[in-house]
Amino acid sequence: MIEEELSKIWKSSPQEEQIKFDKSRFLLDVQSNIDDFYQQMKGLFLRESLGVIIAVPLIVYFAFTTTVLLTKVAFLLLALWIVYIMYLLRRIKHTVPDQFSMSYLEYLKETKKYLEESKRYRETVILWFILPPGFLMWLGLFGSNFTDPDNLKPQLIAGAIFLLIGTIVYWTNSRSAKKYVGPKLEKVNGLIKTLEE
Amino acid sequence: MTNTMKVKINQESWREATSELESAFLKGLEENKQKLLRICSTYTSDQEEKKDLFQEVLVNIWKSMASFKGNCSLSTWMYRITLNVCINMQTKLTKEKRQFRNMDSVKMSQYKESSSTEEESPLLMYLRSCIKTMNDANKAVITLYLEELPYKEIAAVTGLTENHVAVKIKRIKKKLLNCINEKL
């Protein structure tokens, strides 16, 4: 077989589909899909913002009403941590590569960067997402316990709840880093290598 | 100028812009749909998935029509999006089947005239199956080559240099021909 034939064979496709459009309906369908997508994004943004709007003032309020300095400091730091997490999540979201303006290779490289960062964050979730609030919560409760040193119940309950949530968060993040992000990253690395060789 | 007038003018210019986008989109699609579909077809064997992938490509092209700056031809830009969406969507589609299922306005059917008179040539079957065995990077380059895009345009779509494209195509073609000859 000669090389020139390849293109002819490729284009010969007798079984190739005929694509029929109902043009105006098609545009409406596409638009509704896009609207759904933006609606979801809007919902996500709203939920995130609502979480911060409720949590931060509440924590700051506790920090100002408490008389114990240690609790005050711990709760203020906790509020700062929540704001930092919001900033971090937004930064990660902005690194999602834009598939419309890039060439294939650029897109793969940007995807690689995004996946690497995403993997790193998932693997280190214990350091930036679990331990800081855990430690600050504990510190806050420890401070408030000064006034009633015999009552350890709130600390124990908070500790148990936190341990449970922390374990679930850690487990789901390590699982997704290993099961989803890792293989995808490997594939993208392989593609970049093949494309560049 | 009153506020009502301003709003009316804005609405009119928005409508004009949208209808311009619409006609550019439909014209580009009319010219390239078969090519885009052929490219999509190398990324999946499942008919339903192929349709989903193609729909996803169309949604993404339409979504980004407003950001098309004309730095390259519309067809080059459409190929770019097609390849990027194909690589991104493959795994998603198998995982989240039936996400964009409500686009009834796009229908695919076989060409009755041709399929009734002639069978799919074995060569085409071999060619397709050989392309499917390649990795996505090589698939991207070879499908653009088979669509007879000039090296310059393939380079613009893939982000490689023209020389690099030429070298790659030579290598991939060799592999492809070996694969087909083995099957013959």
pLDDT tens by residue, A91-109: 877 777 776 678 889 888 9
Give yes or no for A8 touching B (CB within 8 A).
no
Q: What is the pLDDT of residue A116?
A: 92
Taking only residues 94 to 113 of chain A, the set having a beta carbon closer than 8 angstroms to any beta carbon of chain B reads 99-108, 111
Q: Give B53-89 pLDDT, tens digit per residue.
A: 888 888 888 888 888 878 788 888 899 889 888 877 7
CB B107 within 8 A of CB A20: yes
Whether A108 and B60 lie within 8 Å, measured CB to CB? no
Whether A34 and B176 lie within 8 Å, measured CB to CB? no
Whether B181 and A1 lie within 8 Å, measured CB to CB? yes
- Structure-model confidence comparison of residues A118 and B114, the more confident one: A118
Give yes or no for A19 touching B (CB within 8 A).
yes
CB A137 within 8 A of CB A78: yes
Whether B80 and A102 lie within 8 Å, measured CB to CB? yes
- C-alpha A184/C-alpha A142 separation (Å) is 44
- C-alpha A30/C-alpha A80 separation (Å) is 41
Q: Would you say residue B4 has pLDDT above 80?
A: no
Confidence class for position B48, pLDDT limits 50, 70, 90: confident
Quote the minimal CA–CA distance from A174 to chain B in Å. Answer: 19
CB A6 within 8 A of CB B146: yes
ipTM of the complex: 0.70
Give yes or no for B90 touching A (CB within 8 A).
no
Amino acid identity of residue A20, one-letter, is K
Instruction: Using an 8 Å CB-CB cutoff, list chain B residues near A108.
Output: 87, 137
Helix (H) or strand (E) holding B106: strand B106-110
Q: Would you say residue A24 has pLDDT above 80?
A: no
Confidence class for position A81, pLDDT limits 50, 70, 90: very high
**pTM score:** 0.73
Q: Give B119-158 pLDDT, tens digit per residue.
A: 667 888 888 889 989 988 899 899 999 988 899 999 999 9
Confidence class for position A170, pLDDT limits 50, 70, 90: very high
Give yes or no for B108 touching A (CB within 8 A).
yes
What interhelical angle do A3-12 and B136-146 show, nearest 10?
90
